[in-house]
Amino acid sequence: MLRIYLKPSDKVGPRRFWGAKPFYRELIRTAKADGIINAVAQNMHYGFSNRGPIRENGSEIADPHLTICVELVGERDQLNIFCRRHGDLLGNKVICLLYTSPSPRDS
């Protein structure tokens, strides 16, 4: 499993009249194109990232700097290749690569 932490305000690509693409959506599209088995974006409600201040979503206004976690699930080698291939996109993001072992019933 690969977790990538970013801000909802992070954008990628050329800025257009209506704005650039959200970075988390581009990561998920890229993961799909690379054959990753599962990719989701999760909104956080309270926390901090990259040693920044603690942030929270208010009841009426969303904080555009509160962390989003994009989680990718795939084979270990596939996730390593994804990180190497797209290092330019991931360069300044906090990422966590978690390796798990197959359960005994999968052996």
Among the ranges given (30-39, 63-72, 74-83), the one the predictor scored with the smallest mean pLDDT: 63-72
Does the reported pTM lie above 0.85?
Answer: no
- Asked if pLDDT for residue 52 goes beyond 90, the answer is no
Query: Distance between CA atoms of 11 and 18, rounded to whole angstroms?
Result: 12
Query: Distance between CA atoms of 44 and 35, rounded to whole angstroms?
Result: 26
